[in-house]
Amino acid sequence: MFHKILIANRGEIACRVAATARRLGIRTVAVYSEADAQARHVAACDEAVCVGGAAPKDSYLRWERIIEAARATGAQAIHPGYGFLSENEGFAQACADAGLVFIGPPPSAIAAMGLKAESKRLMETAGVPLVPGYHGADQDPRLLKAEADRIGYPVLIKASAGGGGKGMRLVEAPEAFDDALASCQREALNSFGDAAVLIEKYVQRPRHIEIQVFADAHGNAVYLFERDCSVQRRHQKVLEEAPAPGMPPELRERMGLAAVAAARAVGYVGAGTVEFIVEQPQGYDHPEAMRFYFMEMNTRLQVEHPVTEAITGLDLVEWQLRVAAGEPLPLAQRDLRLQGHAIEARICAENPDNQFLPATGRLSVYRKPACSAFAVSDVRIDDGVGEGDTISPHYDSMIAKLIVRGDTREQALARLDQALAQLHIVGVANNVAFLRHVVRSPSFAQARLDTALIARESAVLFGQQPVSLTAAVAIAVAHTLTTEAQAAQEASAEGHDPWRARDGFASHGERSRRFAFQWGEDTVPARLTWRRDGSRWLVVGEGEAATAGALAWRDAPGGGWALGVSFAGEDWRATVYAQGERLHLFTPQGSAAIVEVDLLAHAGDAAAEGGRLTAPMPGKVVAFLVQAGDAVKKGQPLAVLEAMKMEHTIAAPADGTVAELLYAPGDQVADGAELLRLGGA
């Protein structure tokens, strides 16, 4: 076994490899860009070497610098992770030339599977089923059009040298072929430097199912069952699960054997994934009719490998290291067993409601559910970031991978939804809420899976608001008063000072306090009244649309929740994170953001008061800054009110003349009391 390896990657996969290496007693070397000097993967390794600037082309793709770092630190082998140089046969060969072990397949296998057309010719020879199509070298547009006509529409045009959905077009009719071909070729040339394409029949109700394979240098090869990766956006995976729901055992065996045949056909060594498109010609309820076709082989460890680890109890990175060190596979096919069901959710910095536009920003809040790392457990998170880190524009938008396991798919689904609810991210747009919608959607819950699931369920996936207005306001009010009470307690030198209390206590009568919240485009008023019996009565909204009821809250620690709130006959658990006036609310039902409007700060903002200036909450008049008859300008300070142990300035809502002062300094005023009147300018 190696005593030191270099990890030629960053983020969660670098941390993932380092964890297994540490467990096996192998020292690790990290490489990092100038932008990643403080990154978590740097701290996760025993040594670290800077290899260049922030852009991948200046650092993580500079293989000569990476090889130089490996030799300088005494590393014996290089683990490429996934992405970057993991499927670059030139890098694999350069490692061998430098006397370093590339922890991956031979360069010849990478080259053979790197070109879609060539790999399909090899698979055809090996007897692996192929989608009807054209994979030839002749790229004459007239020939390509004739082949599409022969195959029958709809067809897919796909870049031969690419992946990740780039250089791919669906063509549903002959008259659309020429334009789609030209567009696909341009994109393929720009992305991969090769305009060659292949054409395949478009499979109806397709599922994306892949087989994890492993081979060693001693002629042994096995398959570690399958993963369903059908839930995709922009041809990129969102959720992956293992085993594939509804997979007949006989079909699993046939696909597994076909995947092993594919690996053997190219002399494969190490971890790889053979991806199949699976047709459901008779619909979702007839798995016995499913047919599978080879798509491509990924010659590396996949992002979704943890679900395979969860259902097999194996550490695939350990297998990679042992095979690369020349050891035989740890287990034979007959020794491998399925154990339960696992699902992985990719947590990404993106905006699902805006075409999944990638996002950047600082993780001001990043709170995770209770989990175990790199082990068979109910909940696991693989990540390479921490609270306070920044998601930069230089690298992939994935923040983390959340993996859950259950004895059954139903149990795994429930655990995934619960874990997503307890994953709190503030500061950067993310897809956590969207993932919860997918998990709860009828198609996913019932395992009616295909690559069009997101489009089919769009009505329940996008633009959803799982937290109601009344719930958001009730939680926000409870949070505000709880925070104020805590601040008052901390400010008291003696630990308990009744004069600092924010609980609305009065020696006689009832007291009220007004609130206002920005909810989307609407400003929503609310009024909280402390009654004589000690209860609190909250009114949200105005007029007939208002909701009213008793409001109560309590501490609710545990399970990721801080508050238990009851209002108008409903109960919620919630945790709230404040960023200025914006409150981010997380509940078991979902998350939302609501903006608390500072009524004192905005008292003069609206001309709707009609020249009247009122106290937005109970307080004491400290001073008037004008006299009757004074001309004032919009925004000019008029009075100072003391409330909540703080002074607030009331400003003029418009130009005008002070008509009358209605109180004197030192007077106590009630919520809503008119302080002065303004006349016209």
Triad 99, 105, 108: Cα angle to 5°: 85
What is the identity of the amino acid at 28?
T
- Residues contacting 404, CB < 8 A, separation 6+: 342, 343, 378, 379, 380, 412, 415, 416, 419
Q: Which residues pair with 346 in a beta bridge?
A: 401
- Residues contacting 335, CB < 8 A, separation 6+: none
Q: Which residue has tokens 């290089």?
A: 78
**What b/e string do you get for 276-305 counting C-beta neighbours within 10 Å, with b at 16 or more?**
bbbbbeeebeebeebebbbbbbbbbbbbbb
> Looking at 62, 227, 252, 300, which residue is catalytic?
300
CA torsion through residues 15, 21, 22, 24, sign? positive
CA distance 89 to 249: 36
CA distance 609 to 650: 13
Nearest of 481, 486, 535 to residue 511 by alpha carbon:
535
What region, left, alpha or beta, does residue 427 occupy, with left being phi > 0 and alpha being psi -120 to 50 degrees?
Answer: left
Triad 667, 669, 675: Cα angle to 5°: 90
Our measurement of the distance from residue 217's CA atom to the centroid of its chain's CA atoms, rounded to an integer in Å, reads 38
Per the annotation, the verdict on 300 as an active-site residue is: yes
C-beta separation of 448 from 231 below 8 A: no
64 to each of 90, 91, 93, 97, 152, how far by Cα in Å? 11, 9, 12, 12, 47
CA distance 414 to 68: 48
Q: Which residue has tokens 């309590």?
A: 554
Q: Is 633 exposed, middle or buried (0-12, 13-18, 19+ CB in 10 A)?
A: exposed
Instruction: Enumerate the active-site residues.
Output: 300
